[in-house]
Amino acid sequence: MRSHLSYQSKRELLWQMAPRYREASSALKEIILDEFVAATGYVRKYAIRLLNHPAEQKLIITRSRPAHYGPEVQHALHLAWTAANHICAKRLIPFLPTLVASLERHGHLHLSEKCRSQLLTMSPATADRILQPYRKQERHGISTTRSGTLLKKQIPVRPFNDWNETQPGFLEADLVAHCGTHADGSYLYTLTLTDIATGWTECLPLLNRGQEAVIVALKRAQQLLPFPLLGIDTDNGGEFINAELLTFCEQEHITFTRGRPRRSNDQCYVEQKNGQIVRQVVGYDRFEGRLASQQLTELYRALRVYVNCFQPSMKLALKEREGSKVRRTYDQAQTPMQRLLASGILSEAKQQDLLRITEALDPLRLLTQLEHLQKALWRHAVTSSAEEAASLAPVRFSVQQCTEGKVPTDGLPHTPPSLLKQARKKTYQKTGRPHDWRTRKDPFEGEWEQITTWVLVQPELTGVEIFHRLEQHSPGRYRPTQVRTLQRGLAKLRARLLITFEDHWEEEVVNGHLPVPELRAEVLAGLPS
């Protein structure tokens, strides 16, 4: 009979049972022998010989050698690892020359030549061993994706292994729900956009997951990205698979593709950023309302600079299957900005501008700003004591505190229009007059002004909650089946109350004294008719 015990486990069992076996009577020896044979799978004669003459347990003497890397090198590695937001050593080590130079330039490190040489020649495995006591585990969230059943045939499918784009501009998009432990009611979302070629990532907060809010966020991303938006790839959620977003992509000449249903790995690039960036910084709490949205916007203003300028990542270069094993080869870790500069699509002037931004920022001061903004956001989490955050003003992101005054004085212009995707005029064939008339009397006529006030004051209110308020205000006037009519009207109303931010982070990096971004609600049209 075969045993599943390891050799070391069998030896330990032998050392425990051998003294009892030698001192036992003949009847008890037979019982012990049966148990030992059943546990180890040894032949009976061999087991008797082992129990009568067990091998002596050897005393292993461990002689520790002196540490090759002294406390100064270990402290410098830990400081650089902290400034890089606790990334793995395979990503950290290739970025150490740039990061150490930045830390020394801003006065956080003062290394001797010997210590600097040891730090920069350290292997990733050694760095992982030194940093092992400081590592922590993370938890996971819940899914709020709802499938969009319409228009799937018009949007081509693109699986994860079909990405061979080397030109920046093709992005994967996904929503992250900040719903806490339950998905009831209204709460904030984050639209994450990740470039396939460079890893450049933009995070944009949304008050809801409506299609209008997604389109506004994509327009904002076109202004923030330092390269043209050429294509997006999404999952099959209803916030993406809709006629409005498809029309927007056609007008902007953006390639629109989707992943396969129930295959989250088709959006593997953006899914990784959801966990590594959004969940790691924002967390898993529930956030609702406009104040939380403002604070989340300030956090993402700082996070986009930190992630794209100071967070190196590795890309899969080659994957080979050898029998039952898969061998993966990764390229050298680089930051998204380094990959963007190496792509060759930017002009020489734009490359110099991005390099000046990286040199002007202090990564440790920027990380301190991120932690400050993170704590300010957590005060808005929906908890039992969240009422205190209702009157708190949002904490603003200050680039000036991240530069220590070491910024160029000649100024840096914003992203020129030539780098943004320009929409060409295109003639569309009209299929008929849009359906903009009512076939029935509006049951909520005369109440839309009050409903608009409620939505402006509490944008997290759902259609059902507003319907209950109307029932309390006018008992017996409405039927339960009219909830859907109210929800359709609310969708049109929310599309006309768009929340926008003005954010020119490149000028702020250089000048450091731009006015605070102003939140404004733009009423684009009248009330729902």
- Shared-domain flag, residues 295 and 401: yes
Q: Is the pLDDT of residue 161 over 80?
A: no
User: What is the average pLDDT across 486-495?
Assistant: 82
Nearest alpha carbon to residue 92 among 135, 148, 49, 139? 135
Q: What is the pLDDT of residues 467-485, one digit of tens each?
A: 999 988 888 888 888 888 8
- The reply to whether 435 falls in a domain is no
**Residues 383, 386, 391, CA angle at the centre, nearest 5°?**
165
CATH number at residue 247: 3.30.420.10
User: What is the average pLDDT across 493-515?
Assistant: 53
- The reply to whether 211 falls in a domain is yes
CA distance 229 to 170: 7
pLDDT band, residue 153 (cuts 50/70/90): low
Q: Which of 174-188, 294-308, 350-364, 421-435 has the lowest mean pLDDT?
A: 421-435
CA distance 86 to 136: 9
Specify the DSSP class assigned to residue 277: I
- The reply to whether 513 falls in a domain is yes
pLDDT of residue 515: 39
- The reply to whether 147 falls in a domain is no
Beta carbons of 267 and 291 less than 8 angstroms apart: no
Task: Look up residue 411 and give its two tokens.
Answer: 């100024």
> What is the rounded (10 degree) CA torsion for 68, 74, 76, 78?
150
- The reply to whether 417 falls in a domain is no
Better-predicted residue by pLDDT, 428 or 76: 76
Q: Given the structure tokens 């003294």, which residue do they identify?
A: 19
pLDDT of residue 201: 93
Q: State the pairing for strand pair 170-178/325-330.
A: unpaired
**Residues 508, 80, 378, CA angle at the centre, nearest 5°?**
60
pLDDT of residue 204: 93
pLDDT of residue 202: 93
- Shared-domain flag, residues 299 and 184: yes
- Shared-domain flag, residues 75 and 210: no
Q: Is the pLDDT of residue 510 over 90?
A: no
Mean pLDDT for all residues in the chain: 78
CA distance 371 to 365: 10
Q: Rounded to whole angstroms, what are the CA distances from 173 to 116, 207, 217, 306, 445? A: 40, 17, 11, 20, 38
Nearest alpha carbon to residue 353 among 416, 438, 424? 416
User: What is the average pLDDT across 329-357?
Assistant: 87
- The reply to whether 142 falls in a domain is no
Secondary structure element (H or E) that encloses residue 96, with its range = helix 89-105
User: What is the average pLDDT across 119-129?
Assistant: 91
pLDDT band, residue 367 (cuts 50/70/90): confident
pLDDT of residue 391: 57
Q: What is the pLDDT of residues 96-123, one digit of tens each?
A: 998 888 888 888 888 888 888 989 999 9
Burial class (CB in 10 A: 0-12, 13-18, 19+), 107: exposed
Better-predicted residue by pLDDT, 503 or 362: 362
User: What is the average pLDDT across 295-302?
Assistant: 91
pLDDT of residue 409: 34
Q: How many CB atoms lie within 10 A of CB 268?
A: 17
| Residues ≥6 apart with Cβ < 8 Å to 219 | none
- The reply to whether 59 falls in a domain is no
Domain boundary among 412, 435, 466: 412
pLDDT band, residue 388 (cuts 50/70/90): low
Q: What is the pTM of this model?
A: 0.58
Q: What is the pLDDT of residues 411-441, one digit of tens each?
A: 333 333 322 233 333 333 444 455 556 677 8
Better-predicted residue by pLDDT, 255 or 408: 255
Query: Which residues are 500's β-sheet partners?
Result: 520
- Shared-domain flag, residues 396 and 458: no
pLDDT of residue 423: 34
Q: How many domains does the chain have?
A: 4
% pLDDT > 90, the chain:
9
Q: What is the pLDDT of residues 240-284, one digit of tens each?
A: 888 888 888 989 988 888 877 767 677 788 888 888 889 988 988
Query: Which residues are 205's β-sheet partners?
Result: 190
Query: Which residues are 91's β-sheet partners?
Result: none
- Shared-domain flag, residues 268 and 297: yes
User: What is the average pLDDT across 501-519?
Assistant: 45
**Residues 128, 373, 197, CA angle at the centre, nearest 5°?**
55
Specify the DSSP class assigned to residue 523: E
pLDDT of residue 274: 87
- Per residue, the 3-state secondary structure of 351-370, as one string, reads HHHHHHHHHHCCHHHHHHHH
Domain boundary among 81, 104, 134: 134
Q: Rounded to whole angstroms, what are the CA distances from 283 to 117, 242, 288, 313, 460? A: 37, 29, 14, 21, 20
Better-predicted residue by pLDDT, 41 or 510: 41
Beta carbons of 52 and 20 less than 8 angstroms apart: no
Task: Look up residue 478 and give its two tokens.
Answer: 């409405």
pLDDT of residue 296: 92
Q: Which of 180-194, 370-384, 477-491, 511-525 has the lowest mean pLDDT?
A: 511-525
Q: Which of 204-208, 340-344, 425-429 has the lowest mean pLDDT?
A: 425-429
pLDDT of residue 299: 92
- Shared-domain flag, residues 244 and 346: yes
- Shared-domain flag, residues 267 and 168: yes
- Shared-domain flag, residues 358 and 500: no
- Shared-domain flag, residues 200 and 279: yes
User: What is the average pLDDT across 24-42?
Assistant: 90
Q: Which of 147-151, 388-392, 407-411, 488-492 has the lowest mean pLDDT?
A: 407-411
Give me the domain span that covers residue 359. Answer: 152-412
pLDDT of residue 502: 47
- The reply to whether 11 falls in a domain is yes
Establish how many alpha carbons lie within 13 A of residue 483's alpha carbon, considering only the half-sphere containing its beta carbon: 11
Domain boundary among 79, 105, 134: 134
% pLDDT > 70, the chain:
76
- Shared-domain flag, residues 405 and 347: yes
- Shared-domain flag, residues 368 and 460: no
- Shared-domain flag, residues 404 and 498: no
Q: Which of 132-141, 244-253, 307-316 has the lowest mean pLDDT?
A: 132-141
Instruction: Determine what percent of the chain falls in helix, strand and coil, rounding each to the nearest 5.
Output: 50, 10, 40
Q: Given the structure tokens 């991240």, which residue do they identify?
A: 402
Helices 348-360 and 289-310 pack at an angle, to 10 degrees, of 110
Max avg pLDDT among 25-39, 257-271, 489-503:
25-39
pLDDT of residue 477: 87
CA distance 412 to 509: 9
